[in-house]
Chain A
């Protein structure tokens, strides 16, 4: 009788153990997946708020853009006799390896800004800026610069105007 009882008792326990076992197998597949998901998350501080703006400078033009008031005097000193237009401003959080593309520019130009290093020990980040227009070979510039400050890139355009691109990150 005891043997029979034990067999019956086993019968009651097995399906649960079986379902549990199957779930455990499932879990063993999912745990590494979950760990991989966690590992994919960028490390603290790797995200940078990158801001890119584009200004077109035209010889003999007028600067009527009120948003350029703060640097109007600086721009005029930089390129005397030119007028300035703010074409576009873009800002976004990106991590190292990601790019921001600004394409609403004059003369079919495109600026691709890639964060190549989000910050080193000295608090500088590295960026690669690629300017392309039509079928021309793109020109790339690599810059290592402190956070929270701007730098400018100047590109001569075919129509005699100049494209000024400002880049900064926080």
Chain B
């Protein structure tokens, strides 16, 4: 297995993965092994830091707390008057309280949603200045250069033309590919690092 195949397999595991070939490569290639380790750590970090969205169970619990808090109030409303039997009073009170409770529950969920929203994209980009909304190139149709799996390509760009050159033909010795090794090595050198953050 080549580095590209190993990284691809780790990133998007296929059902028919060749685990022994994968393990063999990871045992031999320090770079891919490091990448696999880092990938697993990012997964764990993400799991540990990602915000929770209200689950069905949490919703039920909230609702039961809200409805429990209504009951004493209702008893007071019913028991305090000499006309406790007044049917409409109970109906109005109950209607009001139910609407109130529903509104409160909705507000609660909305506030939860608002607080948990910004999570995965709260990324610290120190050297990267974020700029959204790409301006389309002034009417000129830009040619799309497509690169095949496992090929390393150099695109020579001048104001007049773009020339595509293949710079790595086939895997190097032992299936370890220099460019993939470099990609793995250069990634953690970034002056900015990415952590899933919750506000």
Do chains A and B interact in one complex? yes
Q: Which residues in chain A, 104-120, are within 8 Å of chain B measured between CB atoms? A: 104, 112, 114, 116
Report the Cα distance A148→B77, complex, angstroms: 66
Partner of A101, one of B101, B128, B190: B128
CA distance A150 to B7 in the complex (A): 12
Which residue of A5, A23, A91, A147 has the most chain B CB atoms within 10 A of its CB atom? A91
Q: Report the contact-size class of chain B (Cβ under 8 Å from the partner).
A: 35 or more
Q: Name A's B-contacting residues (CB within 8 A).
A: 5-6, 8-10, 12-21, 23-24, 26-27, 30-31, 33-34, 37-38, 40-42, 47, 49, 51-53, 67, 70-71, 73-74, 78, 86, 88-95, 97-104, 112, 114, 116, 123-124, 126, 128, 131, 136-137, 139-156, 166, 168, 170
Q: Which of A30, A38, A114 has the most CB of B within 10 A?
A: A30
Known: A74-B179, A91-B194. A34 touches B109 (CB 8 A): yes
Residue from A20, A47, A168 within 8 A of B121 (CB atoms): A47
Query: Cα distance A127–B169 when bound, in Å?
Result: 23
CA–CA, A146 and B12, complex, Å: 12
Q: With A19-B96, A88-B191 known to touch, is A151 a contact of B128 (CB < 8 Å)?
A: no
B167 and A74 form a contact (CB under 8 A)? yes
A-B contact count (CB 8 A): 271
A146-B8, A153-B157 known; A70 vs B181 contact (CB < 8 Å) = yes
Partner of A8, one of B81, B113, B168: B81
Contact of B182 among A31, A70, A92 (CB under 8 A): A70
Q: Which residue of B lies closest to A138 (CB)?
A: B137
Besides A20-B102, A27-B107, 16 more A-B contacts (Cβ < 8 Å) are A8-B86, A9-B86, A9-B90, A13-B93, A16-B92, A33-B110, A34-B113, A52-B128, A70-B185, A78-B154, A86-B189, A92-B190, A100-B129, A128-B142, A146-B150, A152-B154
Q: Given A20-B95, A31-B110, answer yes or no on A152-B167 (Cβ-Cβ < 8 Å).
A: yes
